[in-house]
Amino acid sequence: MNKVKPIVALFDFDGVVMDTESQYTLFWDEKGRKYHPEIPDFGHYIKGQTLTQLYESYFLHPSELQPQITRELNEFETRMQFEYIPGVVDFMRELREKGVKIAIVTSSNDKKMANAYRAHPELLTLVDEILTADRFMHSKPHPECFLMGAKVFDSDIENCIVFEDSFHGLEAGNRAGMKVIGLATTNPASAIEDKATLVIPDFVGFTYEKMMRVLD
């Protein structure tokens, strides 16, 4: 670990900061049943992918399908409930007190995140940066988003720790060469334990000291 460079904590948003994954699963399961009945549990299968990636992989045709889904998704997100993962606010506040740089690194776009800010304006005071899909060329599991997280703080990879819940996100953190802590909020701990240095159910009781033991 580089003692001169800052420590950086990179948080995925859905399923890590906010408990929204179950809501998205319902939305995308409905789309899967309608357009891709050959893929069981579609909402779970596509977790961690950006909307652009989903469109390119599953909804290219007919041409009017993407605008239709976008309208439905935008409407759905205005009605979503944004509830924090237990313990995450206290943990973020402790990290800031310790001088840790914090970024949310999410596959969500700016429009969706604006809904979260309206529901929780204090979110903007808890972190230093929010990196959305609108800033990335590649989607998770590509490591670009987490490498950008290190770059914006002028830090080194070995100083960065990733908090993720989805398979694509966990893979992205590992491919970035960073330590990864898995949140068993979307997938059971047994399904992600081989993809993370540590798996936790939420942030209750999780501290700066415990994080640093993983990072060291």
pLDDT of residue 170: 96
Domain range annotation of the chain: 8-20+82-215, 21-78
Predicted TM-score (pTM) of this structure: 0.89
Q: Where do we find the tokens 């840790």? A: 100
Cα separation of 64 and 68, whole Å? 6
pLDDT of residue 17: 97
Tens-of-pLDDT digits for all 216 residues of the chain? 888 999 999 999 999 999 998 898 999 999 999 999 999 999 988 887 778 889 999 999 888 999 999 999 989 988 889 999 999 999 999 999 999 999 999 988 898 899 999 999 999 999 999 999 889 888 889 999 999 999 999 999 999 999 999 999 999 999 999 999 999 998 999 999 999 999 999 999 999 999 999 998
CATH class of 8-20+82-215: alpha beta
Provide the CB-side half-sphere exposure for 142 (13 A, CA): 12
pLDDT of residue 78: 87
In this structure, what DSSP letter does residue 6 have? P
